[in-house]
Chains A and B, each alone.
Chain A
Amino acid sequence: MDIGFSPAEMRFREECCDWLHANVPVEKRPLDAADAIGFDKAWQRRLFDAGWAGINWPVDYGGRGLSIVQQVIWLEEYAKAHAPWIGANFVGINHGGPTLILNASEEQKAYHLPRILKGEAIWCQGFSEPGAGSDLAGIKTRGRIEGDELVINGSKIWTSFAQVADWQELVLRTEEGSRRHAGLSWAICDMHAPGITIRPIRKMSGLTEFAEVFYDDVRIPLANVVGGLGNGWKVAMSTLSFERGTGFIADQVKQSQEIEELIAAARANGMIKDDRIADSLAQLRAEVAAVRAMTYRNISQVVRSGQPGPEASVIRLFTSELGQRLERMAVMLAGEDLLDFAYGDDNMVQDYLRGFAATIAGGTAQIQRDIIGERLLGLPKSR
């Protein structure tokens, strides 16, 4: 075991650092999805042109074909340089693209992957429905097969960036009368197709980053199904494993930045003299360090065996709850400033309010605990 990087990796780190320092935009990323979309696309394009998009994606589809270790180095430097949040490109880059790489046909990959990397195509995720949240197998949105088309009816909810997306990871029921995990398919849905209605939903922070999506006889080619008709559950699980697994490395790296800022703030305003606050900060700093250690361990596992170990669910749960502890601490250190929060503010209260998503989106903390208990410890399945 060692925590050192090879000379080549260290040179790579320097390259990342140099480029970021020269290129990170000075202007802040606008907060709301509709305002930010231009920014997100332009930034992604700039990353692509400079060779920083898809560092560990295959070369054939526009990636660099480098190792996952280099991807982590990039993300570490990215956070250190205070580069902007990936925003609307989150789904395409972090789980849409990786799902396609693993499951899609050559044509699908050749068409979509370069567009994702260039920021030309924005993706969203259509999994959750009003009646199917934690219980994803309860999906009711239907796709009727007519010739070489799927005719879609139903609705999705909580679809982040739906209002600005071009494509969607759509999980739907393609076998009439099928139940639960059977008869589902994972399809690429054109968000501009006739029959789609999008109703943005405002969050408690004032932002409208997600939406409800209605499908009224929406027609998409049957050829847009990924991984075979009726295999939707399996493909969706691979999407979730990317979403819950390596997709969150960037957030983990950001936490190490945040804790240092909190400690500096507590020193500056003198609150660190309170022993309880000092001890909480000390505790958070230890936990943030452990997240990096866990990430490195997980990455090493991927390098060694080709896949992340079952501990990925542990990292995800711990990191999401740690993020919320950090946000709470930030709000606590801010004191009465909390009371001045207004919709649209871009500050630690905004982060605090948005941060509730961490233990809900992508599978709630309760569902993660079930998974850890059942897959890691072998306890009997309760669902």
Chain B
Amino acid sequence: MDLTPNGEQIAFQAATADWCRDHMPLEQARARPDGLWDQLEAMGLPRITAPEANGGLALDHATEALVFAELGRVLAPIGLLSSAVANRWCAAPSGGKVALALTVDAPGPLRVLDPVDAAAVLMPQPGSVRVFAISDRPAAHRPTIDLSTMQSRQEWAAAAWIADDIRAPLHLQLLAAAFAVGCADAARDMAAEYAKLREQFERPIGWFQALKHICADMAVRAAVARSQLYYAACALDANEADAAFHVAAAKRLADQAALENGRANIQVHGGIGMTDEAHPHLCLKRAHLLQFIAPAASAALLAA
């Protein structure tokens, strides 16, 4: 039993954080440079757990979750989630970006996230994931509330491929939880930094307990969610019988941390926190988007 990252994991995590700072900072989330996806592919980020036969790194979910939390911190493209799952579970590699469709119970219109330049669409379902051909036109792309994520609509098509493995949708839920943990971290750090810099009443606002305790609660939520994320990733790696519960718990806590921290961050910033120019709203909006991706249902959390 060891729930601290090992040397290799820390190195991968740090390298990802460094790369993100230089090439994919949060501050530029709403306008990512052309060719970013190719760079992500070159780094192997959509293929961390994919088998070597799929050009993957064949690493474990724990390592991938750590790295995805770093990616989530800078509000990395949502397509990374679906691509990572497709590359891991799809026998025939798609060879490009895979967009993410929100789950619908029966055939009908689909809401597709991050369709830009995608080669296919992945949709999670209870116990399986489906991959469809993408059938959209770039002209039909519309923004979402999350200014870093576009969307499109498409009809439910015959699946090009179905992964009937319970672990495939859990994998997506785990990665979405990792993104949410990163998002919660980003809001916490932004708030704490601002609370040290901004002065009122001749002292940093973080001196005041009313704000200090808001920030402390942000730290608690982020730590709680991160710990459960690690545990869930390990449970999935070990194929534990209760992995589905632990992944659902991770998603539930991470979603809450991202949303509550996102909200608190705006309060800590005061007026500037409400502006388009400042960054807090980017975290809040990403948090709202993540709530819709593989949400953790009560039933999954109460299952024996």
Contacts and interface: CB of A to CB of B under 8 A. Distances in A.
Interface of A: 1-5, 9, 69, 263, 272, 275, 278-279, 281-283, 285-287, 289-290, 292-294, 296-297, 299-301, 303-304, 311, 314, 317-318, 366, 368-370, 372-374, 376-382
Interface stretch (B68-76, B108-116, B134-142, B210-218): B210-218
Given A314-B223, A368-B216, 19 more contacts: A1-B233, A4-B238, A5-B1, A285-B301, A286-B228, A286-B252, A289-B231, A293-B3, A294-B224, A296-B231, A318-B220, A370-B216, A373-B206, A373-B212, A376-B216, A377-B206, A378-B192, A380-B203, A382-B208
Nearest to A5: B1
B219 A1 contact: no
Interface centre among A272, A286, A296, A370 (most CB of B within 10 A): A286
Contact of B248 (A286, A300, A311, A381): A286
**Could you say which of A4, A311, A373 has the most chain B C-beta atoms within 10 Å of its C-beta?**
A373
B223 A379 contact: no
Interface residues of B, number: 49
B204 A373 contact: no
B1 to A, nearest CB: 6
15 contacts: A1-B230, A1-B234, A282-B299, A283-B301, A285-B245, A289-B231, A292-B231, A303-B2, A304-B4, A314-B220, A318-B220, A369-B212, A373-B215, A377-B195, A377-B206
B216 A377 contact: yes
B237 interface: yes
B234 A297 contact: no
A18 B301 CA distance: 30
The DSSP consensus for interface residues of chain B is: helix
B279 interface: no
A378 B4 CA distance: 23
Interface of B: 1-6, 9, 62, 188, 192, 195-196, 203-204, 206-209, 212-213, 215-217, 219-220, 223-225, 227-228, 230-231, 233-235, 237-238, 240, 245-246, 248-249, 252-253, 296, 298-299, 301-302
B212 A374 contact: yes
A163 B62 CA distance: 50
Given A1-B234, A285-B249, A377 B207 contact: no
A350 B14 CA distance: 49
Contacts of B240: 3
A304 B237 CA distance: 22
A297 B227 contact: yes
Contacts of B216: 317, 368-370, 372-373, 376-377
Contacts of A379: 192, 195-196, 204, 206-207, 212, 215
